[in-house]
Structure formats: C-alpha cells, structure tokens
Structure 1
Amino acid sequence: MPPLQVRGATSVITGAAAGMGAEVARQLASAGARVALIDRDADGLAAVAATLTGSGHTTHVVDLTDDDAVAVVAGAVTASHPHVQSLITCAGSSMLGSIDQLTMAEMRWLMDVNLWGTVNITQALLPALRRAPAAHITHLVSIYALAAPAGRIPYAMSKYAVRGFTEALRHELAGSTVTVGAVYPAGVKTGIVLRGRYAAALDPAVADRAAAAQAAMYRTEPRDAAARIVAATRHRRARTMIGRQARLVDVLTRVTPVHYWAAMRRPLREAVDTTTPIAKPTRSGD
C-alpha cells in the first residue's frame, strides 16, 4: 500500500490544543500538510496555530459530544479544505476512582468524551475522506485498551470501546480508499492524568497522589509519540505501539489473557490506589 503524500493535503486533528494533538499538528504542518485543528479550548487552539509553519491551516472550536455542533464543524472543515486526507483523533480525558467511588454520571461523561466524541467526528468526516483518492483514519487508543487496570474502570471501558470501534470500522471499510488504524500509547508525558477528572467521592489528596504516581511512570516525550503517530498515518498502519511498556503489555496479555494483572499490579500499586487515606502528620509530643 503506497504511503500518503501529505504535502498540500489536509489532516484533521482533534485534541489539537495541547499534548500529542498539538505535536502532531506541528509535525504535519512542517511536512507541508494543511491542518484543521479541533478542540474545545479556543485559546489553546490559537496558541498552537500561531506556532505552525505553512499556510491554509484552520481552527475549529467544538465540544465533540455535541452532535449538532460536530455536524456544523465538519461542514466548516470540508468547506475550507476540499482535500481532507486523514483524520487523527487525539481528544480524550481520564477519570480516577474505584467502582464504589464513581457515579453513573461520571462514567457516562468519560464514555461520551472518549468514545462518542471519537465516533461522532469520524462519522461526520467520513464522506470527505471517501472523496480522497487515498485516506487514513488514526484513532489514539491506549495501553489500557490492551490491559484493564484497577482504579481506571471508566477509562479502560472507553478505550476498549474505541478499540472495538476502530477494528470494526477497518473491516467495514476494507476494499475502499479509506484505511483505519489504532495507536496504543503507553506513558506519554502529556499530563492528561494530572489534568483529568476524578470521582467526586474521592479525597482530592488521594486523587493527586494516584495521578502523580501514574505520571511518574511516563517516559515518552510528546514529540516522539507524535512522530510515531504521523508515521502510522502516512504509512496507513493498522496497529502501532508507542513505548516499550505498550509492547510488553501487548505480549503479556496474549500470553496470559486472564492473569496478566498479577504481573501489572505491583508496578501500578500506587497509581491505582484511590482508597488508602493520606496519613496526617503527627504533632511533636503527641
């Protein structure tokens, strides 16, 4: 399968106001692509757009969980960019908390953001992608769509669902000009877990401790992850792992699909602990 020639063609990137989405936009723009940046953060989008090389880039502020607004934005993107060649979905959030701490509303919110936001923009832009001689859709999934840890039920549910959507869509579009791929990052230093939400029932100090423990495990720089995402899109790859941990977990879950958590529990123990109270310092003489 010949790679995409990005120069002069348009890539649409969600979650483009920060993190991997912003880095992907910069790298594609540097390669001569036109980019359509999508996010709900208007100021962040403007800041990223100001750093892009080249011309013809556009920004689009939208909440991807709003069906009507997504339809309007898809129309605006295609009006400004007649040659949409790729869609890269980087938008997403996280949620900390155990099943006893989470509410249904909290879990539904994350599913709306991570799953339905991805489905929404993909469906809306698919007609434009089909008009291209060759096109590719890249969905950012997660290492937690390979293995589901304790303390991350909503996140794992949403990412496993994105994985299922991506694979089913790839099969539906087989034989067409549109290919579909999933990227499984592990430990990218974007700060998503530090900026993410946590269950309202969770002690904020405990949430901060768990988030910091998770973030401390991250090793991959956003620019390096973005380079892998861009390469996966240009070469229309169906499956891409980012980071040594992702490759190890992929193998682990194949070898022991039922008992993989026994190997993962210890290194993740602090990151998934949302129940142990923070010890209060004792006063001298007590």
Structure 2
Amino acid sequence: MGRTRRLDVHGRTSVITGAASGMGAEIARELDRRGARLVLIDRDAAGLSALAAELSGTGHSAHILDLTDDAAVAALGAAITASHPHVQSLITCAGSSMLGDITQLTMAEMRWLMDVNLWGTVSITQALLPALRREPAAHITHLVSIYGLAAPAGRIPYAMSKFAVRGFTESLRHELERSTVTVGAVYPAGVKTGIILHGRFAAAIEPAVAQRAAAAQARMYHTEPQDAAYRIVEATVRRRARTFVGREARLVDVLTRLAPTRYWSAMRRPLREATDTTTPIV
C-alpha cells in the first residue's frame, strides 16, 4: 500500500522535533528549501523564533513543547492534526546526551535521559500516527545514533536510550508494514552539531573533567550538519528503513556484526579520552 512511493514534500507538512538547533534546525532548512510546510517543535522558544524568522517558506508553525509531558504532547498532536492537513512526515531529532559512568550517575539522571530520548520520541510518534495514516504515503524518521549499534563505556544512559529507540523504530516498522506509513532509523556518527558540548553530565563529575571528555568526543566529529541534513531528508523522501550518516557509521555497523561481543576492544583506544570522566585535571 504505497510503500515504494517517493514522497513529494512540496506543500505537505513535515513535523520536526528538536527543531530549534543542531540537526533539527538543519533539517528544517533543507525541507524549507524543498517547499515543505513545517511544524517546528522544541523547548527553546528563542531558538524556534530565530529559525522561524529565517525560513523563507509559508505555512510553517512553531510550538514550544516539553516532550516529556505526555498530556501536552497529545494536545499538540491534536492541534497539529486540526490545523495542518496532510501531515506527511515526522522526523524526531529531539534528544540530549549524558556523560558519566555507573558509579557517577544517579537513577534520576538516567531516568531523565530516557524520558527525553526514548519516551519523548514514542509520545510524539503515537500522537501523530493517526494523521500520518490518513495520507496515501507517509514516513517516520527517528534519529538514533551509532550508539544504538555499539554501546561504549561512559555512555550507559545514552546507549540505553538509543538502543531502545532503535527497538521502538523496528517494532513500529513491522506493525505498520501493511499500512501506507513507513518507518526508518537514521544512525548518525560524527556530525558537528555541538550536542555533546551542550549535553548534560552526572552531577558527581567535576565540570572541567566533563568538558574535557566532551571536547575529546567533539574532536572526532567530521560530518557537516548541512550534509547530514541532506542525507536525512533524502532518507525520509525515499522512505528508507535504515540510513547511515558519517564515515564512522558504516564502520561501526560492520564491526558490531563481525565482532558482536568484542567490538569494544577496537573502539576503546579511540574513545579513551572521550569516555574518561574520572581522571582529575592537574
């Protein structure tokens, strides 16, 4: 039922979470250039306002929303459905990171990240699915991460949340296989968005130590956000089930397939500084 049909985004509505900055903003710019109508969602009111003023298209709307508030998400989903006919795609970019090892993290910190990265993704998807199903062809794109393929030390809550988003995406794709809605996962690696520099870290870590680890991770990023946004929008338009972004993404995919219990031995050294949240700065 329309599963191979390429999307024509011109004049149709695309919903983007995490739209105020980073990948969400770049994806919004790419879709705006293609003539899409955009629903921009984020907690950052100033960022949303600045982006909305920059875009040249018409029919866009911006909404300040905390995706961890289930009732607010449901209400916004109903409002979007009422005001934006032809919701054709949903791209979930909202998320955060969390540095710290298991001895440094609290349960509250880990639950917070799971609420943002996983349950926020599930909630907005559930809220907009009825509208998407009314279209002759629609697609849902969830941004996962290479840390939804490989789980490094020092990133337990982030890896947990991204493996969970991957599982949700794949299960949902199977549930909707006889519908007009397709579902895809994008696995970005090394995109220079600054998420790691602006992410959270366990309160038990010295801020300077956390910044050192975040900066080490950021130095490993090579893909320009504009290039990544083009790939992600193309994956949405072509309704792809699985997309890798960044030169490390396919390498990690192959590595975890070839050595599912030993891949960390190859990743440990390159990530040594980025996962060190315990060595004091002297």
Q: TM-score range by the shorter chain?
A: over 0.9
The answer to whether the Cα contact below 8 Å between 2:5 and 2:137 also exists between their aligned partners in 1 is: no
The one-letter amino acid of 1:57's match is H
Q: Distance in 2 between matches of 1:39 and 1:50?
A: 15
Runs of 4+ in 1 over 4 A off after TM superposition: none
Superposed displacement of residue 2, structure 1: 2.0
Counterpart secondary structure, 1:50: helix
Counterpart selection for 1:101 from 101, 104, 112: 104
Structure 1 vs Structure 2: percent identity of aligned residues? 78
Residue 269 (str. 1) matches residue 272 (str. 2): yes
Superposed displacement of residue 68, structure 1: 0.6
Residue 241 (str. 1) matches residue 244 (str. 2): yes
Counterpart selection for 2:262 from 238, 259, 264: 259
The one-letter amino acid of 1:24's match is I
Count of residue correspondences:
279
Superposed displacement of residue 77, structure 1: 1.3
Q: Distance in 2 between matches of 1:109 and 1:87?
A: 23
Structure 2: segments with no counterpart, 5+ residues = none
Counterpart secondary structure, 2:91: strand
Counterpart secondary structure, 1:138: strand
Counterpart secondary structure, 1:200: coil
Give CA deviations for 1:137-169 in whole Å, capped at 9, x if unaligned. 000000000100000000000000000000000
Residue 47 (str. 1) matches residue 39 (str. 2): no
Counterpart secondary structure, 1:17: coil
Counterpart selection for 1:110 from 90, 105, 113: 113
Superposed displacement of residue 37, structure 1: 0.2
Superposed displacement of residue 79, structure 1: 1.9
Give CA deviations for 1:93-144 in whole Å, capped at 9, x if unaligned. 0000000000000000000000000000000000000011100000000000
Higher Cα Rg: structure 1 or 2? 1
Counterpart selection for 2:199 from 196, 199, 211: 196
Give the structure 1 partner of residue 68 of structure 2.
Answer: 65
The one-letter amino acid of 1:126's match is L
Counterpart secondary structure, 1:164: helix
Q: Distance in 2 between matches of 1:74 and 1:221?
A: 31
Give the structure 1 partner of residue 233 of structure 2.
Answer: 230
Counterpart secondary structure, 1:38: strand
Structure 1: segments with no counterpart, 5+ residues = 280-286
Give the structure 2 partner of residue 136 of structure 1.
Answer: 139
The answer to whether the Cα contact below 8 Å between 1:26 and 1:53 also exists between their aligned partners in 2 is: no
Q: Distance in 2 between matches of 1:91 and 1:112?
A: 11
TM, length-normalised to structure 1: 0.97
TM, length-normalised to structure 2: 0.98
Superposed displacement of residue 51, structure 1: 1.2
After superposition, residues 15-94 of structure 1 pair within 5 angstroms as: 15-94=18-97
Residue 185 (str. 1) matches residue 215 (str. 2): no
Counterpart secondary structure, 2:54: coil
